Structure 1
Amino acid sequence: MTSRFQFPSLSTSLRAAALAALAVAGQAHAADAGTGSGSMLDGWTFYLGGAYIDVHAKSSPLSGTSTTFPDGSTHAARFRIDDASTVGFGLVYRFNKTWSGELALGLPAEHSIHGEDLLESFDQITLVKQAPPAAFLNYHFPEVAEGVSFFVGPGINYTRFLRARNTASGNAAAGGETKVKLDSSWGLAGHVGGTWQIDRNWSFVGTVAYAHVTSTQTSTTQTNLGNGPVTVTHTANINFRPVVYSLSLGYTF
């Protein structure tokens, strides 16, 4: 199963977005320094909490020739990816009351991949872990109540698939011992959230984030067609479309 994200002029776009974000944040910080305004959460905040990854994945049919399906084809073999939970953490630097920069991280989450259509009878065929660090530039709205405010931020996501492995069912579906690889993905991201300041140092924060994550999964199988060993390769494009819900406790220092 293979997944690939196509993004025109990605390197140029990322540089432009990063420079624009730094320019906006720098101007806001300078303006705030001139007025002497501030926030209880000025400076660095580390947060730690739970994250639920709601995957709305859609895969293309497998591309390649199978020796295990009745018609010898994979044209109707697809995948379904399960949701996952993990521990999320990250760093926020609050430039002033309006702007902050954020690096969102988390422990690698493991997703189960199940077969659909011609692969449905094989159930769970692959397990894959992924780490999706993301960077955001956040705009903070004025408080709606004492200590309570909301924010919104665009960002950039990089998803790296750290480990993918076939199950026994997956090997049976492919016709032999199979190695699986998923391409890494760059994509745009965005999130909205709310913060509740408990006191000078402690706060709760909840977010809902979306990232554009696509990948190409490649499965390489060593099998035997009767006249000796042969290597068979299958690929599929997967659009993960994850929505991530998180709730964390932050400490400002």
Structure 2
Amino acid sequence: MKQIVKLLGCALLASASAGVMAQEAGSIMVKAGYAYFDPNVTSGNLSAPSLPNTKINVGAAGTILLTGTYMFTDNIAVEVYGGIPLKHDIYGAGSIQGTGVLGTVKQLPPTAFLQYHFMGANEAFRPYLGLGVSYVHFQGETGSAVLTAITNPGGAPTTFQVKDTWGATPQMGFTAWFNKQWYVDASVNKSYVKTTTTLSTGQSASAKLNPMVTQFSLGYKF
């Protein structure tokens, strides 16, 4: 949050005298930057046979973010997020907290937002609100020796699969323009997603991931 405040201050100073037609109807904009995903996990219990209160947690990760935006009117826009898949560590929680990394998984959450940009198209600084739909695709699931020791001691290595899922993603952010083409953008999103992980040993566990996503980007308008 402190980083957002600092960037907001710099953007306000840089854009104070811009006063250009920056985001009028018909504008097509692209941006690239960095996004940080910080899951807020609420895990269910791993199904039997397992220790009571066996849960999971998911570590934070960052990635390169690529975004395209189209302004339908001076205030209403559609924005699409993409980028490079993120790699998350999965940890034990509950009765197996502190056992270490259970595995890793990659995820790619393309998201489409409907946005409302406040103030006029000729304003250099414009806050916005958005509501998006995310499709979270999981891939590259890899279990660790710790996972096997907990779920199948002495047996074959335990593998797992995480189910793809949909979720709602509210958003708030701002754009600040340096001139008619270049701008900076920052936003905070909160995705509400729930998925299920199934082990090769037959157990499964559901979890709400609900990551907070903070992104900073440099953009260009065509």
TM-score (ref. length: structure 2):
0.84
For 1:40 and 1:105, locate their aligned partners in 2 and report how far apart those are by CA, in whole Å: 23
How far off is 1:40 after superposition? 1.9
Aligned: 1:242 with 2:211: yes
User: Whose helix fraction is larger, Structure 1's or Structure 2's?
Assistant: 1
SS at match of 2:51: coil
C-alpha contact (below 8 Å) 2:68/2:79 kept by paired residues = yes
C-alpha contact (below 8 Å) 1:59/1:237 kept by paired residues = yes
Instruction: Give the equivalent residue in structure 2 for 1:185.
Output: 165
How far off is 1:217 after superposition? 0.3
SS at match of 2:149: helix
SS at match of 2:148: helix
How far off is 1:157 after superposition? 0.8
Unaligned stretches of 5+ residues in structure 2: 1-19
Unaligned stretches of 5+ residues in structure 1: 1-37, 66-72, 221-231
For 1:49 and 1:121, locate their aligned partners in 2 and report how far apart those are by CA, in whole Å: 34
C-alpha contact (below 8 Å) 1:61/1:74 kept by paired residues = no
How far off is 1:196 after superposition? 0.3
Which of 180, 197, 213 is 1:200 aligned to? 180
Pairing 1:1-253 to 2, within 5 Å after superposition = 39-42=21-24, 43-65=27-49, 73-142=50-119, 146-175=123-152, 176=155, 177-220=157-200, 232-253=201-222
Residue identity over aligned pairs, in percent, reads 28
SS at match of 1:237: strand
Counterpart of 2:216, as a letter, is: L
For 2:100 and 2:217, locate their aligned partners in 1 and report how far apart those are by CA, in whole Å: 34
Counterpart of 1:194, as a letter, is: F
Counterpart of 1:147, as a letter, is: A
For 1:117 and 1:205, locate their aligned partners in 2 and report how far apart those are by CA, in whole Å: 39
For 2:130 and 2:93, locate their aligned partners in 1 and report how far apart those are by CA, in whole Å: 36
SS at match of 1:233: coil
For 1:173 and 1:209, locate their aligned partners in 2 and report how far apart those are by CA, in whole Å: 35
Counterpart of 1:163, as a letter, is: G
Deviations 1:209-228 (A, max 9, x none): 111111000011xxxxxxxx
Counterpart of 1:246, as a letter, is: Q
TM-score (ref. length: structure 1):
0.74
Counterpart of 2:63, as a letter, is: T
Counterpart of 2:31, as a letter, is: Y
How far off is 1:121 after superposition? 4.5
How far off is 1:146 after superposition? 5.0
Deviations 1:16-58 (A, max 9, x none): xxxxxxxxxxxxxxxxxxxxxx942342111000011111011
